[in-house]
Each structure stands twice: as structure tokens, then as C-alpha cells.
């Protein structure tokens, strides 16, 4: 039996779409604050004093597994064994953060060792949500937390610039060093060389010295130091050498990691000197942590004077999303984080219709052009260290492979056609895009979720493509913004509708009828049989 071919057979009404399958969040809070640094603690305590039910989330102390993966900071293998038992670090985390202890006392529901791996609000392409939702996880499980208002105070993370040997234990970031020294009291190094001479490098040197560590030198790529002259002079007076017009060529190492750093003069690469140290601390810059803003789809801007890509926030801390506020370094580096936290809390309270003091306008300092500084460092490292240095450690992509837009090594692919392609030719095809470069070279595709390479890949792209560093679009952040095991992320409590009507694709039965059978009795047979799998 043959039907006329023009007869239209439509599938059954769709029961496989997301409609009706989204579970109510496992928990709900009036206000959620993410990040228990100065901004987050100030926000949480301000809101708690106003009688609002507040949940304050912080991932510290982080698990030893994440520390080993350099998440969230570039720990560089310099944590002591104390981090193997995060529960024992809790006391120290509280002791070192009086504002957090105060939040506890005010009845804020504080969740430590809890990471926020995603956040969503109702909007275009996401119409099923009744409230904002945060994805949370600890070592054992993941769950969801609904919110009426959200304040992100996620701080800043490390900026990594690589050089030969920088993948061994002992090369680390300034944020990681701060966390290990102050929050965890778990730093394994003794003799440091610090890269950079700006505010971050100076503060890092001062902290390290205050903790009884030896700081051999501050190393600056530019011809003159960039930080406060008086504080630099004080450090110099304490025996810290301020070395300008040098960058690291290579870290020397042994079984325990770094044993020294070879420095090279930027204008005369033949001139080298070696400093014996066990730790090289990168303090060239910090990066506002905007992962959750990007997952949420909040508006952002490139502001080099505030540290790079930052969310667009008003003077009180409101973002482009009605229910999401922000405070502290995640909105741009520097400024009075606690004041910003209080202000964001007041703005959030007002939007909840709660009585609140008027938000104060927060002064956001304008720092030096962070990207220009980072670019100078990147240029000097590239000029002296050459193309063989890894720019992406997880995926083993060298600077040269990035500049040449080479396919990954595991493909073993080489051809004249591909050899003609590079960043410059790609830039002629259209504006350079880091997400495109990720997929072509795999740089930034690794398990550290590009925390160790995202910025230097963008900076190297700017150099190779001969385009302004500010023109490279942000490589998008996508949930989960922390690397979580399948078994942890797995949803143990999905809705019955989700379970029953899960389909591998759209579940359109007519889509999978063999073409030759369309319009024949075999079509009916296949429709009756349902989806093949």
C-alpha cells in the first residue's frame, strides 16, 4: 500500500521539551551571597542585620584535588600537607577572616567548602525558571539553591604567564600565595622571587616578609618599576632587590620543584643571571572572577584600568540583571571592597522592598592600564623565551603552535595548506576570537578550565594577530565553572517527567523514518515501533 507522497505525517505533540521538567530548587534563600571575602562578608552581614535570610557561599577551604589542579588559584604545588584535610583548615579560615566570623554570629547561613558552579535567571532562551537558581557542589554531591536576589563577590584570581619550566612545583600565583599564607597557613616555600613591581607585587612581598619568608627580588619586565616608589624603596632597604628590564627565561628545578630562576635582560637576551629560590610568585596581575556573570549572561565590558573584562555595574552594585548585584574585585580590581559589599546589599534590600539605608555610591578607583602592562610582559617573555614555551599546560600547546594556529599534536597533521595559516591570516579572515582559537588549537580547553592560560593566550593572540589586546573578545565561561566529577554533578533527584520523557534527540518519530520508506506501509510500521533508541 502506498500513500500519496505529499501526505504530511506529523509527529505526536512534543513531550520531550524542557517544559515542565525543571525541578524546584532543592533549597531557597531570599538573598544568596557568593564569596566570603571582604565584599561578600560585608554584604551578608549588612543584609542579615536588616533581617533578611542570607546564605553565604564560599569554596574555601577547597579540596586537595582542586588545589592540585590549580583551582581556583594557581597554587603551583606549594601547599603543605595541611590542605589534605580541608575540614581542619576551617578554624583557620574563620580566624583569619573576622568579618566571616561576624557573619556567622549574625545568623548568616555560611556554607564553606561549597562551590558555586553555575547561576541562571529567567531570560531569553531560559523561560522555564521561576526564580534565579545557583548550582552548588561539595566533594560528594551537587544541588540547587533558588534565590530572590544574588550578590556576587567572587574576587580575583591569578594571572599566569608561562616560561620554560614554569609548569613545575614552585611557580605559583600571588592570589594562591595569599590564600596559602593567610587563609590556610599552609605554604611550603621559603625563598621567593616575585614577578612584577606594581601594587600586587609589592603587597605580596610585604606579606611574605611579614610571614618571615625571604624575598630575594622583584623582577620587572619594563625598564622601570611601576609601583609606589616609597614602598619599593622600603623593600629594597630590607634587602629585596628590584630588578628591572628582566624577565624569567626558565625555572630550574629538581625533584621538589623549583630550585632557581634564570633571568634574562629584555634588551640583551645573552645576559642572564640566576637566583636560587624555591618559589617564583607571579604578581604581574590579577583577573576579576567573572565566570558566574558570564554564565548568567550579565552585560560586561573590557576595562583595562579595572583589570580587564568586568561586569557592567552601576555605582551601587546593580548589574544588568534585575536580581543580580555585585561587589568587590570581581567588578574590577581595587577600591573599598567592604563598602562596595554594604552598598550592594542595600541595593538588593531595596529591590526586595525591604527597609534599607540608602546605598552609597562606591568609588571605583582607576588603576594603571592592566592590559598594556600584561602585554609588555607577554611581549618580553615571547621575545626572549621563544616559541617553544607552553602557553597552555593542560593541552600542551606552545606559543609557536598558537601563533601558527596549528592543529593539536595528537592529530599528527601537517600540510602545506595548514602551514600557510596563522594568527595573522586568521585576523584577515575576520576579527580574532579566542573561542575560535580554542577549538582550532585546543589552547584553553584543558581541565584547569583555562585558569592558567586564558589571559596569556588572549595576549599572545593580540601580538600574533597584530591587533589591540582589548579587541580580543572574552573566551566564554560555561557551567560548570568548577571541574566537577560526573558522579558529583549527576542529578539524583530529577523530576519524574524528566526521567520518563528524556529522549536522545527531539523525539520526532517521523525524523527517523528511512527515506525510501516515506509514503509506504513501512513508514506506518516504523512509526508504530517508535524511536529506534
Partner 1 sequence: MTNKGTSVVVVGGGVTGLSTAWWLARSGVDVTVLEKGIVGFEASGRNGGGCTHYQSPLFHEEQRLWPQMDELLGYPTEYRRERIVFQVDERKANFADGLSMRIPAGYEWEVLDGKQVRERVPLAGDNAICGVHLHFGGHANPQRTSQAYAWAARDLGVAIHQHVAVSGFETAGGRVVGVETSAGRFGCDALVIAAGPQTGKLSAMLGNPVPMAAARAEMIVTEPLPLMPTGGVDGNGLYGRQTLRGNLAYGGGPHEWYDDTPLDGPPPRPSGSVLRGLSRRLADLLPRAAHARVIRSWAGVIENTPDGRPVIERLSAPDNVTVATMSSVGFGLSPASGHAIRDLVLDGVCSFADLSKLSRARFKELSGDWRRDLNWLPPQPATPTEGAAL
Looking at residues 116 to 145 of the shown chain, list those that interact with partner 1 (rule: CB under 8 A).
118, 120, 122-131, 135, 142
The number of angstroms, rounded, from the C-alpha of 452 to the middle of its chain's C-alpha atoms is 9
Our finding on whether 353 is near partner 1 (CB under 8 A) is no
Q: Minimum distance between the CB of residue 7 and partner 1, rounded to whole angstroms? A: 8
Contacts of 172 (CB under 8 A, 6+ apart): 74, 75, 76, 77, 78, 158, 279, 280, 281, 282
Segment 393 to 412, residues that bind partner 1, using CB under 8 A: 395, 407-408, 410-411
* 8 Å CB contact between 39 and 55: no
Segment 226 to 285, residues that bind partner 1, using CB under 8 A: none
Q: Minimum distance between the CB of residue 478 and partner 1, rounded to whole angstroms? A: 5
> Toward partner 1, which CB reaches closer, 6 or 230?
6
Q: Minimum distance between the CB of residue 380 and partner 1, rounded to whole angstroms? A: 31
Our finding on whether 530 is near partner 1 (CB under 8 A) is yes
Our finding on whether 500 is near partner 1 (CB under 8 A) is no
Our finding on whether 15 is near partner 1 (CB under 8 A) is yes
Question: Which DSSP category does 506 fall into?
Answer: -
> Toward partner 1, which CB reaches closer, 147 or 377?
147
> Toward partner 1, which CB reaches closer, 28 or 92?
28
In the structure grid, which three cell numbers stand for residue 335, read together?
577600591
Q: Pick the stretch among 21-29, 256-264, 365-373, 451-459 that binds partner 1 (CB under 8 A).
A: 21-29
What are the start-end ranges of the H helices in 224-290?
Answer: 229-237
Our finding on whether 521 is near partner 1 (CB under 8 A) is no
Q: Minimum distance between the CB of residue 289 and partner 1, rounded to whole angstroms? A: 16
Dist. CA 62–CA 320, nearest whole Å: 30
Residue from 139, 244, 512, 520 touching partner 1 (CB under 8 A): that is 512
Our finding on whether 502 is near partner 1 (CB under 8 A) is yes
User: 441: closest CA among 480, 479, 402?
Assistant: 402
Our finding on whether 29 is near partner 1 (CB under 8 A) is yes
* 8 Å CB contact between 150 and 119: yes
User: 172: closest CA among 101, 247, 257, 53?
Assistant: 257
Cα dihedral value 97, 101, 106, 111, nearest 10: 90
Give 74-103 as a 3 state SS string: CCCCCECHHHHCHHHHHHHHHHCCHHHHHH
Ramachandran bin of 241, using left for φ above 0, alpha for ψ from -120 to 50, beta for the remaining angles = beta
Residue from 64, 269, 400, 519 touching partner 1 (CB under 8 A): that is 519
Residue from 3, 24, 190, 301 touching partner 1 (CB under 8 A): that is 24
* 8 Å CB contact between 464 and 101: no
* 8 Å CB contact between 104 and 94: yes
Segment 292 to 311, residues that bind partner 1, using CB under 8 A: 295, 297
Our finding on whether 17 is near partner 1 (CB under 8 A) is yes
Our finding on whether 351 is near partner 1 (CB under 8 A) is no
Our finding on whether 480 is near partner 1 (CB under 8 A) is yes
Helix, strand, or coil (residue 509): helix
* 8 Å CB contact between 257 and 240: no
> Toward partner 1, which CB reaches closer, 210 or 417?
417
Helix, strand, or coil (residue 232): helix
Residue from 431, 466, 500, 521 touching partner 1 (CB under 8 A): that is 431
Give bridge partners of residue 276 from the DSSP assignment.
260
> Toward partner 1, which CB reaches closer, 363 or 505?
505
| 375, containing H or E segment | helix 370-385
Segment 83 to 112, residues that bind partner 1, using CB under 8 A: 109
Longest dimension (CA), the chain: 97
User: 377: closest CA among 283, 258, 253, 262?
Assistant: 283
> Toward partner 1, which CB reaches closer, 28 or 354?
28
Q: Pick the stretch among 255-263, 270-278, 456-464, 505-513 that binds partner 1 (CB under 8 A).
A: 505-513
Residue from 85, 267, 274, 514 touching partner 1 (CB under 8 A): that is 514
Residue from 276, 301, 487, 521 touching partner 1 (CB under 8 A): that is 487
Give the number of residues in contact with partner 1, rule: CB under 8 A. 104
> Toward partner 1, which CB reaches closer, 64 or 386?
64
What are the start-end ranges of the H helices in 297-369?
Answer: 337-351
Q: Is the dihedral of CA 517, 519, 524, 527 positive or negative?
A: positive
Segment 145 to 204, residues that bind partner 1, using CB under 8 A: 146
Our finding on whether 505 is near partner 1 (CB under 8 A) is yes
Our finding on whether 496 is near partner 1 (CB under 8 A) is no
Amino acid at each position: 500500500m502506498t500513500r500519496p507522497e505529499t501526505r504530511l505525517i506529523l509527529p505526536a505533540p512534543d513531550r520531550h521539551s524542557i517544559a515542565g521538567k525543571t525541578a524546584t530548587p532543592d533549597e531557597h534563600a531570599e538573598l544568596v551571597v557568593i564569596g566570603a571575602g571582604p565584599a561578600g562578608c560585608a554584604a551578608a552581614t549588612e543584609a542579615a542585620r536588616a533581617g533578611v535570610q542570607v546564605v553565604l557561599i564560599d569554596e574555601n577551604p577547597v579540596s586537595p584535588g582542586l588545589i592540585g589542579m590549580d583551582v581556583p588559584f594557581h597554587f603551583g604545588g606549594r601547599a603543605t600537607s595541611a590542605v589534605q584535610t580541608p575540614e581542619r583548615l576551617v578554624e583557620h579560615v574563620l580566624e583569619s577572616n573576622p568579618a566571616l566570623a561576624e557573619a556567622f554570629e549574625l545568623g548568616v547561613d555560611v556554607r564553606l567548602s561549597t562551590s558555586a558552579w553555575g547561576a541562571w535567571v529567567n531570560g531569553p532562551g531560559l523561560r522555564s525558571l521561576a526564580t534565579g537558581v545557583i548550582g552548588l557542589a561539595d566533594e560528594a554531591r551537587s544541588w540547587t539553591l533558588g534565590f530572590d536576589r544574588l550578590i556576587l563577590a567572587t574576587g580575583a584570581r591569578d594571572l599566569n604567564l608561562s616560561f620554560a619550566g614554569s609548569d613545575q612545583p614552585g611557580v605559583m600565583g600571588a592570589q594562591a600565595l595569599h590564600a596559602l599564607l593567610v587563609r590556610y597557613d599552609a605554604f611550603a616555600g621559603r625563598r621567593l622571587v616575585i614577578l612584577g613591581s606594581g601594587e600586587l607585587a609589592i603587597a605580596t612581598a610585604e606579606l611574605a616578609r611579614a610571614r618571615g619568608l625571604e624575598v630575594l627580588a622583584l623582577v620587572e619586565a619594563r625598564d622601570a618599576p611601576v609601583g609606589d616608589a616609597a614602598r619599593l624603596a622600603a623593600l629594597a632597604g630590607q634587602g629585596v632587590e628590584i630588578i628591572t628590564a628582566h624577565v624569567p627565561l626558565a625555572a630550574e628545578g629538581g625533584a621538589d620543584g623549583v630550585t632557581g630562576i634564570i633571568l634574562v635582560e629584555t634588551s640583551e637576551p645573552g645576559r642572564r643571571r640566576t637566583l636560587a629560590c624555591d618559589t617564583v610568585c607571579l604578581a604581574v596581575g590579577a583577573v576579576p572572577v567573572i565566570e558566574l556573570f558570564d554564565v548568567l549572561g550579565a552585560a560586561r565590558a573590557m576595562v583595562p584600568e579595572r583589570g580587564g573584562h568586568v561586569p557592567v555595574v552601576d555605582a551601587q552594585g546593580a548589574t544588568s540583571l534585575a536580581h543580580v548585584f555585585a561587589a568587590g574585585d570581581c567588578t574590577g580590581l581595587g577600591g573599598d571592597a567592604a563598602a562596595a559589599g554594604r552598598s550592594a546589599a542595600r541595593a538588593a534590600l531595596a529591590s526586595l522592598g525591604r527597609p534599607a539605608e540608602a546605598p552609597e555610591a562606591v568609588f571605583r578607583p582607576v588603576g594603571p592600564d592592566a592590559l598594556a602592562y600584561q602585554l609588555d610582559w607577554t611581549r618580553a617573555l615571547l621575545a626572549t623565551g621563544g616559541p617553544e614555551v607552553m602557553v597552555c599546560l593542560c593541552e600542551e600547546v606552545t606559543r609557536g603552535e598558537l601563533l601558527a594556529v596549528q592543529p593539536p599534536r595528537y592529530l599528527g597533521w601537517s600540510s602545506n595548506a595548514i602551514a600557510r595559516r596563522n594568527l595573522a591570516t586568521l585576523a584577515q579572515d575576520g576579527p580574532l576570537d579566542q573561542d575560535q582559537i580554542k577549538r582550532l588549537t585546543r589552547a584553553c580547553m584543558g581541565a584547569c578550565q583555562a585558569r592558567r592560560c586564558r589571559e596569556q593566550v588572549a595576549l599572545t593572540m593580540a601580538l600574533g594577530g597584530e591587533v589591540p589586546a582589548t579587541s580580543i573578545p572574552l573566551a566564554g565561561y560555561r557551567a560548570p565553572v568548577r571541574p566537577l566529577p560526573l558522579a558529583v554533578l549527576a542529578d539524583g533527584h530529577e523530576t519524574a517527567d524528566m526521567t520518563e520523557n528524556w529522549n536522545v534527540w527531539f523525539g520526532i518519530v517521523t525524523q527517523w523514518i528511512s527515506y525510501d520508506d516515506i509514503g509506504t506501509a513501512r513508514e506506518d510500521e516504523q512509526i508504530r515501533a517508535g524511536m529506534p533508541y
